[in-house]
A and B are shown apart, each in its own frame.
Chain A
Amino acid sequence: MIWCHMVPFDDKLRCRAVEYVTGGIPALLSSWEHTKGLREAQPDLAADDAVDILAAWAHLQRFVPEHVPRDVRESISTIVDQDGALMAGLIGEALDPSGWLEAAEALENATDETFCDVPAISSAALELFCQLDTADLAIWAAERLGQGDKVSELREEIGRCWGCFLMMSGIFAPAAGYAKAMLHAHRPDLLAFDGELFTITEKYTLLADEDVLVPFGHEEVTAITEEQYARFCEVLLQRRRPIISAWPEVRDRVAIAAETKSEGGMFGGQRVEFAAEDGSWHAWMGIPASVLDANELLSLWIRDRSGIPIGEGEVVLYGESFPISDGRALIPLSELRRLQDMQKGPSRSDTIRVVRNGRQSIGKVVKPERKHGDDQS
């Protein structure tokens, strides 16, 4: 027991990360014993297992061999040697890169200030990061087993996901802790061991860098200026250059994504601000240019004259009232009758009422305040 307390945290973390991968292997192999024979009747079950087994086998290659229990390493290697070709032929059945791209886009929208469901965003970021890694690993395993022709199309499609990951890696930042934990377990000579495996593993390093690169919490995303965003992209691309050059299809994707952003995709939305006539509060909301599904929510942020979030109260906008909690009111888009008008630009006649402790104050649309980092000229 005393020994346990003396083990450095880094070593414990390495053990945990290896255990995370090895712990799932007996369950996978026992499932494959059955689903392999059912691949005609239940191809989805067999294909799912094939992807997970190939990915787990590939994942083990990232670790120092001595850190992986021998029985686990041998049991999965035996099955992969035996059924690897069959598995490689099945993985296309289980993976849907376009579904991943759609989900990543939804995550980007959710990370915008209009949403702040932190546990949901964290879960989604982690799940999508793991899904991309699993697909990469399964494809790498198939190629390593000499079955590259069975996954060549899929590899191209995954390249599009990589492009998206590179351009929007900030949205995966909630998974940075998982990535850092895993990095503790990776072999230091991975590049010399296998360049391709090193390349697909680089996304862990990129993600681990994210919390350094992203200087703003998502609450304040709309306060970033274009100039700041350009600087951020420059740093990001510098760090990603080696990986982009290794994946030509990713380079093309990045170019397309950069063009889209410069055409205003990211900055086409509106920031609408309101101020109380008596100066007692200030409120603002970001309205995205697209992404308008009636089920989505806008956050209206409300601060008092000292900049402190208004804890409780009620806000009335266009005749509808919404509760204020912790400085924010959530407003379903479906409730906003004048949304289209607001998107075209705020009007001076738009008013807002805030009710606190039974007292009501009226505010009007104001010109957006300068934010830290805005152009001062």
Chain B
Amino acid sequence: MGLKLATYAGALANPREIRVFGDWVAACAHLCDHVLTMPEAAAWAEVLGEEAAAVILSNAGFRLAKAVWAEGNEGEAAEALYKMYSDALCKALDSAARTGWHWADRWDTDAQKALGVSGVLVLFDAHKVRSAMLPGWGCPLRTSRAKGISSVGQRRRNPLPRQGEDDKEAISSVVTGWGMRRKPDRFDPKAKPAPETEALKRFRIFRKCAQSVRAELLEAYYSTEGKLDASSGEGLRGAIADFATWTRLVGEG
């Protein structure tokens, strides 16, 4: 039967609803390359919540990645995680419509980018979501590894091409960043942090995503001699929402 794709019909869908990825292969590739690949996976576990974290931050994540590419499965094994992922993407698009945090993509003018209050950045066009990520949390250098691993057959042999060989299966500690901010944390699935701590962790994810996007917009503003000015996320120019404002914006979603 295969993976059932979600659609988004909110304010940023133009002219009509858009599919959350073009087909099951694209949907599962993005799930594997972002949600199930460290260090970005650690941040997705926070954004998607407890149920998703139990899968993402355990051996079950790798088993799931293998299962979705299995012959005849066509991504069906990822149904539950895809549902949480696509819900998060649709919420990000809705919140971007409210805050005005959406702009034309620098590399492809047919596409737009939208930043949600969760920190999720969605790249989409008039028909479909093309990609979705937590900018600044994934290691961009790992994206090169997945280039050329595009066919289902190749994915079957290598379901998580962006994940390092050493951390493919057992995840006893979680690498929460990369470069200067690479810090491994012990992952305890039974630990229940206080709700305020959870909110602060999610706020940190949002803050870093927003600052990462702002650095790229500043770079683009300079490189295009201000030509991106009219459509480059004007709403993100000023102050990033503080904790109280962010909490309110999240509540509105």
Residues of chain A touching chain B, judged by Cβ–Cβ distance below 8 Å, are 9, 12-13, 16-17, 19-20, 22-31, 33-35, 38, 41-42, 44-45, 48, 94-97, 99-100, 102-104, 106-107, 110, 115, 117, 119-124, 126-128, 130-132, 134-135, 161, 175, 177-178, 180-181, 293-297, 322, 330-332, 334
Task: Tell me whether B145 and A297 are in contact (CB under 8 A).
Answer: yes
Q: Count A/B pairs, Cβ under 8 Å.
A: 173
A-B contact pairs, 12 of them (CB 8 A): A9-B226, A23-B214, A24-B207, A27-B239, A34-B200, A45-B197, A94-B181, A117-B143, A123-B140, A124-B140, A175-B219, A181-B221
Whole-angstrom distance between the Cβ of A115 and the nearest chain B Cβ: 5
Residues of chain B touching chain A, judged by Cβ–Cβ distance below 8 Å, are 107, 135-136, 139-141, 143-145, 147-149, 154, 158, 161, 165, 176-183, 185, 193, 196-197, 200-201, 203-204, 207, 210-212, 214-216, 218-223, 225-226, 237-244, 246
Task: Tell me whether B204 and A180 are in contact (CB under 8 A).
Answer: no
- The one of B182, B215, B221, B225 that contacts A126, using a Cβ cutoff of 8 Å: B215
Task: Tell me whether B238 and A23 are in contact (CB under 8 A).
Answer: yes
Complexed CA–CA distance, A294 and B165 (Å):
9
- The one of A27, A45, A123, A334 that contacts B201, using a Cβ cutoff of 8 Å: A45
Given A27-B207, A29-B242, A45-B200; A100-B180 close (CB under 8 Å): yes
Given A103-B139, A124-B141, A293-B165; A44-B185 close (CB under 8 Å): yes
What 18 additional pairs, Cβ within 8 angstroms, besides A45-B204, A177-B220? A13-B226, A16-B221, A20-B215, A27-B243, A27-B246, A99-B178, A100-B179, A115-B147, A120-B143, A124-B139, A127-B179, A127-B212, A128-B180, A131-B181, A132-B180, A177-B222, A294-B165, A295-B165
Task: Tell me whether B158 and A334 are in contact (CB under 8 A).
Answer: yes
Task: Tell me whether A178 and B144 are in contact (CB under 8 A).
Answer: no
Task: Tell me whether B178 and A103 are in contact (CB under 8 A).
Answer: yes
Task: Tell me whether A26 and B240 are in contact (CB under 8 A).
Answer: yes
Whole-angstrom distance between the Cβ of B126 and the nearest chain A Cβ: 21
Task: Tell me whether A295 and B204 are in contact (CB under 8 A).
Answer: no
For residue B143, which residue of chain A has the nearest CB? A120
Task: Tell me whether B144 and A115 are in contact (CB under 8 A).
Answer: yes
Given A12-B226, A96-B182; A330-B148 close (CB under 8 Å): yes
Complexed CA–CA distance, A12 and B102 (Å):
21
Chain B residues, Cβ within 8 Å of A123: 135, 140, 216
- The one of A42, A178, A295, A322 that contacts B222, using a Cβ cutoff of 8 Å: A178
Given A119-B107, A295-B161, A334-B158; A27-B241 close (CB under 8 Å): yes
Task: Tell me whether A48 and B204 are in contact (CB under 8 A).
Answer: yes
Chain B residues, Cβ within 8 Å of A330: 147-148
For residue A295, which residue of chain B has the nearest CB? B145
Task: Tell me whether B148 and A332 are in contact (CB under 8 A).
Answer: yes
Complexed CA–CA distance, A131 and B197 (Å):
25
Chain B residues, Cβ within 8 Å of A24: 207, 210-211, 214, 239-240
- The one of A23, A104, A126 that contacts B216, using a Cβ cutoff of 8 Å: A126
Whole-angstrom distance between the Cβ of A17 and the nearest chain B Cβ: 7
Complexed CA–CA distance, A22 and B211 (Å):
11
For residue B212, which residue of chain A has the nearest CB? A127
Chain B residues, Cβ within 8 Å of A17: 218
Chain B residues, Cβ within 8 Å of A27: 203, 207, 210, 239-243, 246
Complexed CA–CA distance, A35 and B220 (Å):
33
Chain B residues, Cβ within 8 Å of A107: 141
Task: Tell me whether A31 and B204 are in contact (CB under 8 A).
Answer: yes
Whole-angstrom distance between the Cβ of A203 and the nearest chain B Cβ: 14
Complexed CA–CA distance, A88 and B177 (Å):
21
Whole-angstrom distance between the Cβ of B137 and the nearest chain A Cβ: 10
Whole-angstrom distance between the Cβ of B96 and the nearest chain A Cβ: 18
Chain A residues, Cβ within 8 Å of B223: 177
Closest 10 CB pairs of A and B: A99-B182, A330-B148, A30-B242, A131-B180, A30-B243, A181-B222, A103-B179, A123-B140, A177-B223, A178-B219
For residue B106, which residue of chain A has the nearest CB? A119
Task: Tell me whether A44 and B240 are in contact (CB under 8 A).
Answer: no
- The one of A41, A122, A127 that contacts B136, using a Cβ cutoff of 8 Å: A127
Given A24-B240, A123-B216, A126-B219; A96-B183 close (CB under 8 Å): yes
Complexed CA–CA distance, A95 and B178 (Å):
10
Chain A residues, Cβ within 8 Å of B178: 99, 103
Complexed CA–CA distance, A23 and B182 (Å):
25
Between B141, B181, B220, B243, the greatest number of chain A beta carbons within 10 A of the residue's beta carbon is seen for B141
Given A31-B243, A117-B143, A120-B144; A20-B214 close (CB under 8 Å): yes
Task: Tell me whether B180 and A97 are in contact (CB under 8 A).
Answer: yes
Chain A residues, Cβ within 8 Å of B193: 42
Task: Tell me whether A20 and B149 are in contact (CB under 8 A).
Answer: no
Given A35-B200, A295-B161; A181-B218 close (CB under 8 Å): yes
Whole-angstrom distance between the Cβ of A129 and the nearest chain B Cβ: 9
For residue A49, which residue of chain B has the nearest CB? B204
Complexed CA–CA distance, A9 and B207 (Å):
28
Chain B residues, Cβ within 8 Å of A295: 145, 158, 161, 165
- The one of A20, A48, A117, A177 that contacts B144, using a Cβ cutoff of 8 Å: A117
